[in-house]
Structure 1
Amino acid sequence: MASDVRPALRARRAIAAIALGMSALLLAGCGNVAGASVTAIGAQTGDRMPSSTTKQLQHVLDNAVKLAGASGGVAGVWAPWSGTWTAASGHASREKNAAPMDVDASFRIGSITKPATCTVLLGLVGDKKVKLDDPVSTYLPRMVGLNGLTLGALCQNTSGFADYWGELAPQMVTNPTRTWDAVELINSGLGQARTGAPGQKWSYSSAGFVLLGLALQTATHESWPSLYEKYVTGPLGISDTTTLPSTSALPSPVASGYAADRDPVTGATNCKVLDDDTKLSPTAMQQAGGLVSNLTDTASLVHAVAAGALLPDELAAQQQKSVIMSKSMPSWAQYGLGVEKMGPLIGHASAVPGYATAAYSDPKSGLTVVVMVNNSTPGANFARLVALQLASIASKAPAESGKKQPAIGLPWTAQQLGAVLPHETGCNAAGGALTPALAAIADIQPEY
């Protein structure tokens, strides 16, 4: 199992991350969430966390790869008071004699695209090009069935707009290179009953994000690669995050991605067959989940969003203003504008076909965690719980000399999450009942 990277690669990432930190610091001068530590990742890269902590973190990653039935995975933790840990586990593919998983491997970050998409929306609001309460029909007047939908509600999943995932996901898994038109995905949502009146309740909808993408593209007359570059990747200076690539090829080095086969008609999962979804078309998720990235770029993205470094103060605060997802879930699991709030952590989780990924950051301490396993079958909550387990361990990492360990109030323990994870593997889930508290953690949404 690889617990570090080659010196040259590590040095390259350190330089890039320091540049990221400086870029975020400049942005912070324009406005960011009070108390945010926007330079945490850059400032701490190269300072290795104590071995007593990294051994625990590596065990979590290795165990996650095993439980997920993945060939490999990558993870990273950035703790400003203690240091940094990045690691790979297993192999880059399921092929015979496959190379070890590379900590710099590229993968599809899926729904971690959503924080970027909603940052674009808020950036456009700041530039007075749109408003959060603008009706979607203002920009798509020829599309029927949009009554009551607003741009902001689509970002917060409170519009009541139905999703395409249940209907189309089996086809995306079994035929990953198929090209999907935005209107085709939107029509799948339009063809189903609303999940509720606008603003009535939270209901996850990737179709809503694709609809938002089409509306903003129409409003601005700009492409989404251009919008992401202008409001997200450009200001951050990150170069390994690809904005909706025109092909299904991933930049090298590549982590291959797999998912249990799905019957295109019934949707039934066949756990005995794993489909290779490495070349999933980015059109399958679009503004809901089309971005490709790597470990450090993903960390920098979620860290900047959590710190509010990409937006003026009032808009950053608006992005993090959250609603509960369900009364059956823990009260600390909430949703803002394209961001999950798990206790004090802000980010997102995803299970786009091929990859289960989660990334979160604490605005106050700068603690940032990212994890990816290359089998999406267990679902987004599996990756989410692994990331929260890493965060729990890292939050207790001893401080370096001259620094103070922050008090991070996480409403869960690594032991609790470790008990839930075997129940979240999808195909080989453990039997037996969970306590009500643990069952609520196992039921956190969204699932992709």
Structure 2
Amino acid sequence: MRTWRRSAAAAIVGAGVLAVILSGCTPESTVAVNVPAQVDAPLADQTVTELRGAVTTAMAATGSSGAIVGVWVPWSGTWVSGLGTQGPGGAEVTADLDFRAADVTGAMTCDVLYDLAADGTVKLDDPVTTWVSNLPGYDDITLRMLCNGTSGLGSYSSVLQGVEGNNPDRAWNARELLAYGISSPRRNAPGAAFADSDTNYLIAGLAVERATGESLSDLIRERVTEPLGLSGTALPGPTAAAPSSSALEGFRSQQNPDGGWTCDQPQDVTVLSASFGGAASGAVTDITDLGRYTQALAAGALLPAGNDRFSSPLPVSADDPTWFTAAGGAYQAGSLIGQFGATAGYMVGSFADPQTGMTVSVVLNNSAGNQKTAAWLAWELAAIASKAPAASGQTAPEAGLPWTAQQMRDGIVGNAICAVPAS
């Protein structure tokens, strides 16, 4: 039983702490997100101009025809918008379209794993071999290591790069993908260091299915989306389809033999089977759900108080800033917690500050190029939003971020695969 959920939410509301509202209506949910209430106002015009400039630059750099962005600044206001078009010359992008959630899915898979550990169904220090068969010699990898990214396992998608886009109707068997992942060279010894790998989430998904006898799709619905009132978020079945009947169309530019990219004629990869991304990147969502989910992830709303999910973050790599760490199926960037990444057709970045409630979520509709672009863009948006002026009767927090918007813009432009117009 998980009776703490209902009682914890009641305690929060009873104490007078308001759950933030990211849309015009309150989602029907059983879990409150303990962050400052969102002021009901639009962001200042100057702030929106800067935010829009950041997104359009990233669109140009990645060859994306469209994007959807949501920025929620509790003390200042909100900006939610669709930008660009559905493919070159397509219809205008609106903010209500659905898209693939990319690596945010992995955080949801870990939500389920940590929740099962909280109710005693599994132990985080269980070897993966306790719950996933046919993994001989992997007794030194624990369930906790999967979400902390310290298993040392390689990535299955890096072996199959581009294959899923060329086989859009194929339903992938998780065991087959697992074979590609574990056959890749180990990146390090278990527990030694962080190394991002979608194989971790794949195994975590298989483990929670074995432990409960339920599908991961049902587990995410029961333990993540329904408690948070995320009506536009789900992990689809294996049948090839667009993210929904009302979806942001997804594309992927191809690299030419001369090293250039097909920026004007990208491959349409909107219709695919979610089974390739699965537990790592198969979920679909919309921008309002993504923002609310990220706030809940950052605030630890789905887990009991005192859980240690983010208590021991590890450096992402020796080349990254010290403020960029990882733990529990998520990344921490300064005071922000969230996820980012790319899946066929989409780049997604979404981060929230658990103290101030500031949240930035964005999707670009071209998955080619440097996958850190989604993080750089989210962090650029956060740097701009953090300086948004306080609305009437509100007070802006004093805390800042350890980077500037220009630093993040430089990363995006410096790794552009398509021409970026001079500002």
Query: How many angstroms does 1:150 deviate by?
Result: 0.8
1:136 is aligned, of 124, 128, 151, to 128
Q: 1:62 to 1:270 in 2, by over 3 A?
A: closer
Aligned to 1:298: 290
Please give the alpha-carbon distance, in whole angstroms, between the structure 1 residues aligned to 2:252 and 2:344: 6
Per-residue CA deviation, residues 397-443 of structure 1 (Å, 9 max, x unaligned), is 1111211101232110011112221112245599xxxxxxxxxxxxx
SS in 2 for 1:380: coil
1:166 is aligned, of 155, 158, 164, to 158
Q: 1:336 to 1:269 in 2, by over 3 A?
A: farther
Aligned to 1:261: 254
Aligned to 2:13: none
CA contact (8 A) 1:104 1:295 kept: yes
Q: 1:312 to 1:351 in 2, by over 3 A?
A: same
Aligned to 2:112: 120
Please give the alpha-carbon distance, in whole angstroms, between the structure 1 residues aligned to 2:267 and 2:186: 32
Q: TM-score when scaled to structure 1?
A: 0.84
Residue 237 of structure 2 aligns with an amino acid whose one-letter code is P
Aligned to 2:386: 395
1:83 is aligned, of 77, 85, 96, to 77
CA contact (8 A) 1:243 1:290 kept: yes
1:101 is aligned, of 80, 93, 101, to 93
Query: How many angstroms does 1:209 deviate by?
Result: 1.0
Please give the alpha-carbon distance, in whole angstroms, between the structure 1 residues aligned to 2:260 and 2:170: 21
Query: How many angstroms does 1:13 deviate by?
Result: 7.4
Within the alignment, does 1:19 sit opposite 2:45 as a pair? Answer: no
Paired residues for 1:407-446 under 5 Å: 407-426=398-417
Paired residues for 1:28-107 under 5 Å: 36-37=34-35, 40=37, 43-44=38-39, 46-94=40-88, 96=89, 98-107=90-99
Q: 1:392 to 1:23 in 2, by over 3 A?
A: farther
Q: 1:364 to 1:78 in 2, by over 3 A?
A: same
Please give the alpha-carbon distance, in whole angstroms, between the structure 2 residues aligned to 1:255 and 1:146: 40
1:367 is aligned, of 342, 358, 365, to 358
Please give the alpha-carbon distance, in whole angstroms, between the structure 1 residues aligned to 2:22 and 2:394: 24
Within the alignment, does 1:271 sit opposite 2:265 as a pair? Answer: no
SS in 2 for 1:417: helix
Residue 270 of structure 2 aligns with an amino acid whose one-letter code is T
SS in 2 for 1:282: coil
Aligned to 2:317: 326
Within the alignment, does 1:150 sit opposite 2:142 as a pair? Answer: yes
Q: 1:160 to 1:252 in 2, by over 3 A?
A: same
CA contact (8 A) 1:73 1:371 kept: yes
Query: How many angstroms does 1:71 deviate by?
Result: 1.0
Q: 1:177 to 1:343 in 2, by over 3 A?
A: farther
Please give the alpha-carbon distance, in whole angstroms, between the structure 2 residues aligned to 1:268 and 1:323: 39
CA contact (8 A) 2:60 2:420 kept: no
Query: How many angstroms does 1:335 deviate by?
Result: 0.3
SS in 1 for 2:266: strand
Please give the alpha-carbon distance, in whole angstroms, between the structure 2 residues aligned to 1:162 and 1:429: 34
Q: TM-score when scaled to structure 2?
A: 0.89
Q: How many residues align?
A: 398
Please give the alpha-carbon distance, in whole angstroms, between the structure 2 residues aligned to 1:312 and 1:120: 13
Aligned to 2:180: 188
Higher helix share: 1
Query: How many angstroms does 1:49 deviate by?
Result: 1.0
Please give the alpha-carbon distance, in whole angstroms, between the structure 2 residues aligned to 1:135 and 1:142: 13
CA contact (8 A) 2:110 2:204 kept: no
Runs of 5+ consecutive residues of structure 1 not aligned to the other structure: 1-11, 29-35, 431-448
CA contact (8 A) 1:172 1:284 kept: yes
CA contact (8 A) 1:255 1:374 kept: yes
404-413 or 237-246, larger mean C-alpha shift = 237-246
SS in 2 for 1:358: strand
SS in 2 for 1:211: helix
CA contact (8 A) 1:154 1:209 kept: yes
CA contact (8 A) 2:296 2:302 kept: yes
334-343 or 375-384, larger mean C-alpha shift = 375-384
SS in 1 for 2:70: strand
CA contact (8 A) 2:23 2:288 kept: no
SS in 2 for 1:77: strand
Q: 1:23 to 1:72 in 2, by over 3 A?
A: same
Please give the alpha-carbon distance, in whole angstroms, between the structure 1 residues aligned to 2:207 and 2:30: 30
1:336 is aligned, of 298, 320, 327, to 327
Query: How many angstroms does 1:243 deviate by?
Result: 1.8
Q: 1:268 to 1:149 in 2, by over 3 A?
A: farther
Per-residue CA deviation, residues 188-213 of structure 1 (Å, 9 max, x unaligned), is 11212221211011111101211111
CA contact (8 A) 1:125 1:132 kept: yes
Query: How many angstroms does 1:382 deviate by?
Result: 0.6
- Percent identity over paired residues: 35
Query: How many angstroms does 1:249 deviate by?
Result: 2.6
SS in 2 for 1:187: helix
CA contact (8 A) 1:322 1:334 kept: yes
Per-residue CA deviation, residues 219-249 of structure 1 (Å, 9 max, x unaligned), is 1111112111121101101100022334323
Aligned to 1:386: 377
Please give the alpha-carbon distance, in whole angstroms, between the structure 1 residues aligned to 2:198 and 2:171: 17
CA contact (8 A) 1:186 1:208 kept: no
Please give the alpha-carbon distance, in whole angstroms, between the structure 1 residues aligned to 2:222 and 2:43: 34
